[in-house]
Structure formats: C-alpha cells, structure tokens
Amino acid sequence: MSKCALITGITGQDGAYLSQLLISKGYRVYGTVRHLATANIWRLRELEILDKTNLIEIDLLNYDSIYDAIKTTNPDEIYNLASPSFVGTSFEHPIYAGNAGGLAVTRLLAAILAADPDIRFYQASTSEMFGKAQTTPQTETTPFYPRNPYGVAKLYGHWMTVNYRDSHNLFACSGILFNHESPLRGRDFVTRKISLGLSCIKEGQQDILRLGNLEAQRDWGFAGDYVEGMWRMLQHEIPSDYILATGKPRSVRDVVDLAAGALGMDLLWEGTGAEMVGIERSSGRKIVVVDPAFFRPIEKELLTGVAEKAHSVLGWRQRMGFEDLIAQMTERDHDRVIKKDLFY
C-alpha cells in the first residue's frame, strides 16, 4: 500500500518540489491551502503535478481545522512547510509571524498526538535561527540567536518539535535549512529578483535593477536537492535534527555576475558600498544600483552551514552547484519574459 503525505504550504517552492519527489516515489499527496478558490497553484502547474495532488483547505491558526485535516487524510507523514516565508515582512507583521510560524507548529504537533502519534512529522526550521551567529560555520550544536521576528518564530517551532519528540516520543524532525533557491522561488527573494530583473532589462522591459547590500553573503543551494533531505529525515530509524547547506557562501554580487553572464551581459562594477553601480560594458548603461531602502533593519552575521551530519547519517548530497543554479533560474526567467508568461 502506498504511503500518504500531508504537506502544509504545498503551493510554495519547497512544497511543489517535495510533492514532485513524493509523487515519483508513489505517495498519495495531500496539500493544504488557506482557500481553494484563491490558491496560488502556478508552481504545481509548472511542474505538471497539479492533477496528481489533492488540495484541501486548512486554517493553521485553528486547532480543530488541523485535527480534522489529519483525520480526513490519514497521513503517514506530515511536512510542515507553511509559514510566512519572506523575512523582511516579519518586521512589519511580527504577531502574525509568531502565530503562523511558531504557534501553528504547536497546534500541528498537538493534533498529531491526539489523532495518530505514529505519524512522522517534519518541521521546516531555518538558518535564520542562528542570526547573530556565535560561531562560523554553523552546526547543529551552534547556539541560536535570531535577529528578526521570522527567526524568533521559527525557533519557537523548532524547540516545540524537539519538546514533543522528547516528551511524547513523537517521530519529529527539524530540518535547519540554509538558503535554497530555484526557478520556482518567489519574486520577492533577491535571487529571483536578480534573475527576473536582468531578464527584463535584457528584453527592454526594465531599465534599472535596484538591490540592497551587494556584499551580503548567503549559503545558497538548490531547493530540489533540499526537499530530498527532508524526505530522508523521515525515512531514518531515529528522529533528529539536521542542517542542510552547501558550506560555501556567495555574495549577492556573485549572483548578479552569474545571472548577467547567463544572459550574455558583461558587467563592469564602479564605486563601493552604497555607491556601487553595475554598468553594462557593451552599452555603457548603468543597470544595477544599490538602494538603501532594501537594506535589512538588522543585517545577520555570515551564515554558512556544515551538513556533515546529513551526509553521514542520511546519505544526503547536494547535486546542483551554485553556478548551474543561477544559470537555470536566469534561463527560465528569460524564457518567461520572452513568452510573456503571466502566472509566475
């Protein structure tokens, strides 16, 4: 008999790639959305799996709604990928971030305990929990010090997952994932803003790409690789918490250079800091500028993870390199711009 998985946040980047993976392994996949009529399903459609998933409505701010969804779908595994995903907006809506990113995890765990304690649970934790990192690089034992409401909420959900595992013997795992990108990333994220923005500039649909701190570094991997790590965590004999990361931080300017290169645009950089500009060498046009409006209220320390535990215990490996990732994202966005796709 095939396994059944319930994925919260199925319409997001990770939810879509995870659904694709589980379907390829013969799972029956249920995914939760807040409202079926307004669900943003373009990612499932792009991966050609929309007709292979079962969407159900759920309110993660309501315990009864969660419990009913679990009893209706009877899953073997639950992957909690739903939460406010854009860090910047958590400063504007800290109460909602805490409720949806933190307390919702407790509701899920409590509902699992009441409905079926044999369900295996995955919690999407994040490198944002390290924030003002006490050591670099970070491992599973590095102390947490979140620097934004999103990271604080995620830390609460992380520790509740550990608590339910220890106190109630639930099979509950947290994946501490560092930045992971793809052509399915939301347009608010800097990697996608770059790949789409430069594609629009290339085709004459945009003049300037405005970015924040170009020297900010992130540990960027491919989302399709990382969802396999999520699945591997729930297949192991013993529940635990794992970092998934590349261990190789790269700067925002690196992303710009690689995306520009994928489009045949050679950039010349002039100035420093907030005065830095990117100039297209062939035309002399200024196409990239720094805009302080995009700086974070509190910039985090250099976050880069050590995934040795996932390598040795789970056999997980990152397959796609950074250069190929940015090239894939840029080529897909350029194709979207040329074809005037409207759903992305």
Max distance between CA atoms of the chain, in angstroms, equals 65
CATH topology of domain 190-216+251-299+326-339: UDP-galactose 4-epimerase; domain 1 (3.90.25)
**Is the per-residue pLDDT at 291 higher than 80?**
yes
The rounded distance, in Å, linking the Cα atoms of 173 and 196 is 34
The arithmetic mean of pLDDT across residues 306-326, rounded, is 97
pLDDT of residue 276: 93
* pLDDT of 299 above 80: no
Question: 180-181 and 209-211: which strand pairing?
Answer: unpaired
Whether 165 has a pLDDT exceeding 70, the answer reads yes
Average pLDDT over residues 163-186: 97
Rounded to the nearest integer, the mean pLDDT of the chain is 94
Q: Looking at the predicted structure, is the pLDDT value of residue 86 above 70?
A: no
Domain boundaries, the chain: 4-182+220-248+302-319, 190-216+251-299+326-339
Q: Is the pLDDT of residue 300 over 80?
A: no
What pLDDT digit, counting tens, does each position of 31-73 carry? 999 998 788 999 999 999 999 999 999 999 999 999 999 999 9
Query: Are 223 and 212 spatial neighbours (Cβ–Cβ below 8 Å)?
Result: no
* d(C-alpha 60, C-alpha 66), whole Å: 6
Q: Which residues are part of the catalytic machinery?
A: 126, 128, 150
Q: Which CATH superfamily is domain 4-182+220-248+302-319 in?
A: NAD(P)-binding Rossmann-like Domain (3.40.50.720)
